[in-house]
Chains A and B, each alone.
Chain A
């Protein structure tokens, strides 16, 4: 195991902090901490980075206890939210900073090593630029290069893509993933964006109110969420009860068929391009349904439909759905 967090607790007050957090990370893994703001994900990252001391528990890297090491002595580096680039230094000096102080290289050697990392993130030609004059995407690359330049065992990333606009976020996400694959860097990534988590991670830690609710691969988290909270946070979901058990059904797993005597009425249609979202309701039941493709052209608001649900427990028809407690 590269990194082990054992029973980490850090409470700021009754409601804020991290409680009894356990996680093991292997070499080369990409782990995402996912949750809403205030769930403790950045706190967890800061505990690993050494900026906070846990109240209880221990942190080990390669079996060695680093719980009480200060940040400047830990073999981890952080890419901070909003990057925290030094505004009085240029790109090259920013990247060389950690090489000088962490790797204790001489200034000249540090600057030449820094150039290599600047090349990796494709910022050749910007070495002498003031960081304040760079675009958001370029700043993000500088932050990445600066953090990687210390040769960290683990790279910690605190919502690194959240300050970028949508299309840039998308392309940088791809780059980050391929960089991680090629260099084999272990990364721990904090985000509140479910699509980032699903697309980037080897494993996702879903957090809420300081607790790690579920740890698993993106597929496990998406298809087999252990609670309605997890199901609701990642994607849309219908929570149904069938013969005494509560199950979660994703909207895309529900098939609609037009039927003049159908049990459900389409009460709302939102066209999203790639797919269309429907809300359909029966007497005391409301379901969310997603349909992909041109088939959508068949449905109009007010149409009556019947549904079939493909679920790992078997097919369900209208009659199987006894109760729908709430729509998530």
Chain B
């Protein structure tokens, strides 16, 4: 190697970083502290405090500690509601889990490309404003339904518990199937080979190896669906008819009776199944982690694994039927947006779109900005939380991280109620503002970015940060010049997840909106409950189109960056 003349500089005097040494609180360190304080402080204020407020509201009546709210829940009328809730939720969760398992198995056993296609379709069907299934059911199979009335000349009554079960089952299959496919993909493929090698048939392998491996995942999905269905007030309101459930009653109690104590007690009842779901979810994660040290390089390709024909046909039929219904649903939504069904004849109309343009654009705009801001905030906070917890390994951050995961597991109705009771007084008066919606959406979804960042940090060589420090970068500089650029795809992933959820959510924010700050998804819910199906269909279409467009853009960008389009 050559030694150029100017290289004497290597023997220069030591460059001491003079000023920084003396005061331990240099500017950058100060910024670091402030960020940490903001992350921790905001999580405590916007997650822990509202949760605490719900529980405290439920055990106080007229300012005195009492368990009357809970005692009242056991009145005969309420017991009937609880029974109804348990019946409907159990039935739809079991059905949903079973059908999702069938679809997941079918996907798992397909060739890689077909499997990936089904997976993508499932991801797409996740983008669905709530209750559009109910809308579709009523418009296709209702009293004046396109299929039942127009085509078959029947007048069917879709209202009642059967309708609730049908919609709740169908509504959560995509989510459940995606979770189960992830669990199936985590199985070490060599186990399947070993099982076959040791003389087990494909069916025996399914029974003895595959199903036991994903058992915790199945339980986790089952309880997750149960939690979501228990807390679902929208579907029973729209399709339940006379059939009432606990969540509907809680919703009504907040809106008409304004008895927050009673509503709080009701939503506390929704917590235990959520905790069980979370327990199995964690257990499943741990199991996958402990198995993950083995090599999983061996993909499904070339792996000969065929279940008996009749099982394959059954699984395929269920999968096909599901996607057919989804097609029907989305088709109907778009169709209903531009048609009107008058006395058994379907006619094209601009009426709904005109009505939409006239009144709804500000709400759509508000939805969009709320989802964008919440998406950015939730992702940044989630990544920072992961950085301080796992990268810097600061003390006491683990419990903080647990707090951040709470809103994800507790029902939206609970979290929404927390914001009503927590932020209706000075100095925290936020009721009726757009800020309260943004905050609620943001802190509901910290967990997504946090989990994604945890996974990304696992794969990021710690020596990169050591190198950056070694080269003179302060912790804040490392964040801006190394961590954030490298976690760009994690950020985007977390952003689209939060964005999608916020665009389509109703459960948590319906209690927080007023005419001043109403958003599109809530308007859609009100239209459907009021029977303005055409207008509801326009809002649903707009929400779907906008959300899909943003998702596609993000996936395309991720693909260009060479990142994975999704982390299952």
Contact = CB atoms under 8 A, between A and B. Distances in A.
Interface stretch (A30-38, A83-91, A298-306): A83-91
Given A120-B2, A120-B7, A71 B469 contact: yes
Interface in A62-84: 62, 64, 69-73, 75-78, 80-82, 84
Contact of A72 (B4, B469, B481, B486): B469
Contacts of B461: 82, 84
Contact of A120 (B4, B472, B474): B4
B10 A151 contact: yes
A101 B470 contact: no
B470 A77 contact: yes
A62 B14 contact: yes
A288 to B, nearest CB: 38
B16 A148 contact: no
Nearest to A149: B471
A317 B501 CA distance: 87
B38 interface: no
Given A72-B473, A121-B1, A183 B10 contact: yes
Contacts of A146: 467, 471
Contact of B470 (A71, A116, A122): A71
Interface string A97-113: 11011111000000000
A153 B12 CA distance: 9
B477 interface: yes
A325 interface: no
Contact of B473 (A101, A122, A179): A101
Given A116-B4, A122-B1, A183-B10, A84 B471 contact: no
Contact of A70 (B1, B469, B471): B469
A84 B1 contact: no
A72 B14 CA distance: 14
A175 B1 contact: yes
Contact of B477 (A101, A116, A182): A101
A80 B467 contact: yes
Nearest to A179: B1
Contact of A51 (B2, B4, B466, B473): B466
A234 B9 CA distance: 37
B466 A78 contact: yes
Query: A interface, how many residues as a size bin?
Result: 35 or more
B470 A82 contact: no
A61 B466 CA distance: 20
A150 interface: yes
Contact of A185 (B2, B10, B464): B10
B562 to A, nearest CB: 10
Contact of B472 (A62, A84, A150): A150
B142 to A, nearest CB: 55
Interface string B1-42: 111101101111011110011000000000000000000000
A210 interface: no
Contacts, number: 113
A185 B21 CA distance: 25
Nearest to B462: A84
Nearest to A183: B10
Given A84-B466, A101-B477, A153 B17 contact: no
B344 interface: no
Given A72-B17, A72-B473, A183-B3, A86 B464 contact: yes
Interface centre among B468, B470, B477 (most CB of A within 10 A): B470
Interface in B421-471: 461, 463-464, 466-471
B10 A51 contact: no
A86 B482 contact: yes
A49 interface: yes
Interface in A131-170: 146-148, 150-151, 153
A184 interface: yes
A178 interface: yes
Contacts of A62: 14
Contact of B15 (A86, A151, A179, A183): A151
A119 interface: yes
Nearest to A27: B11
Contacts of B463: 80-82, 84
Contact of B486 (A76, A88, A148): A88
Contact of B14 (A49, A75, A116, A178): A75
A102 B20 CA distance: 12
Contacts of A75: 14-16
B14 A102 contact: no
Contacts of A86: 464, 467-468, 482, 486
B485 interface: yes
B10 A148 contact: yes
Contact of B471 (A77, A82, A119, A175): A77
5 contacts: A62-B14, A75-B15, A120-B4, A153-B14, A184-B10
Interface of B: 1-4, 6-7, 9-12, 14-17, 20-21, 461, 463-464, 466-474, 477, 481-482, 485-486
Q: Which 5 A-B pairs have the closest CB atoms?
A: A102-B472, A98-B471, A84-B463, A101-B472, A182-B3
Given A61-B14, A80-B463, A175-B1, 17 more contacts: A50-B469, A69-B21, A71-B466, A72-B17, A72-B469, A73-B16, A78-B470, A81-B463, A84-B464, A86-B482, A88-B485, A97-B468, A97-B471, A101-B472, A120-B3, A147-B470, A147-B471
